[in-house]
Structure 1
Amino acid sequence: MSASNHLRQGRMLLHKVVILGDGGVGKTAITNQFVVQYFVETYDPTGGEDYRKQTVIDGTPCMVEVLDTAGQDEYVALRDQWIREGDAFLLVFSITSRTSFANVRKYYQQIQNIKKSKVPLILVGNKCDLSSTDREVSNEEAEALAKELNSTFIETSAKTTHNIDEAFHNLIRLHREHTVEQEQKAAEAAKTEVQTKGASQTDSCGVKKTGWRKRLSGFIKSLDKNKAV
Structure 2
Amino acid sequence: MQMDRNSKRHVAYELIKPELVLPGLPGDSGSAESSAQAAEYCVAPEVSVDMTGYDERSEDILRYNIAFLGSGKVGKTSILQQFLYQNFDEEYTPTPHCEKYRKAVYMNGRIFDITFRDCPGVAHFPDNTISEWTECNGFYGLHLSQVFVLIYDTSNESTFSYVQSMREQILKKKGNETLIVVVGNKQDLTDPRNIYLKSHMQHIIKKWKCPFVFCSAKYNWHIVKVFNETLKTIGTQIDSKKETSQRNNSRWKMPRCKIS
Q: State the TM-score, normalizing by the size of structure 2.
A: 0.62
2:156 partner letter = S
Check the 8 A contact 2:125/2:169 in 1, yes or no.
no
* 1:149 matches 2:208: yes
Q: CA deviation at 1:15?
A: 2.8
* 1:69 matches 2:119: yes
In structure 2, what is the Cα distance between the partners aligned to 1:43 and 1:145?
A: 30
Q: What are the equivalent positions in structure 2 for 1:107-118 lying under 5 Å apart?
A: 107-118=166-177
Q: What are the equivalent positions in structure 2 for 1:1-229 lying under 5 Å apart?
A: 10=58, 11-46=60-95, 47-73=97-123, 77-78=131-132, 82-132=141-191, 138-147=196-205, 148-186=207-245, 188=247
In structure 2, what is the Cα distance between the partners aligned to 1:74 and 1:176?
A: 28
Check the 8 A contact 2:125/2:170 in 1, yes or no.
no
In structure 1, what is the Cα distance between the partners aligned to 2:86 and 2:211?
A: 24
Q: CA offsets per residue over residues 81-128 of structure 1, 9 Å max, x none?
A: 633211222110000111001111111012112221222222100001
Check the 8 A contact 2:124/2:169 in 1, yes or no.
no
Size of the aligned set, in residue pairs, is: 189
In structure 1, what is the Cα distance between the partners aligned to 2:124 and 2:163?
A: 17
SS in 2 for 1:50: strand
SS in 2 for 1:66: strand
Q: Which runs of 5+ in 2 are unaligned?
A: 1-55, 255-260
2:176 partner letter = S
Q: CA offsets per residue over residues 168-198 of structure 1, 9 Å max, x none?
A: 1111111111123234435555776x67xx9
Q: State the TM-score, normalizing by the size of structure 1.
A: 0.70
The alignment yields a C-alpha RMSD, in angstroms, of: 3.0
Structure 1 or 2: more helix by fraction = 1
Work out which of the two has the higher radius of gyration on C-alpha atoms and give 1 or 2: 1
SS in 2 for 1:89: strand
Q: CA deviation at 1:55?
A: 2.8
Check the 8 A contact 1:123/1:151 in 2, yes or no.
yes
Q: Which runs of 5+ in 1 are unaligned?
A: 1-7, 199-229
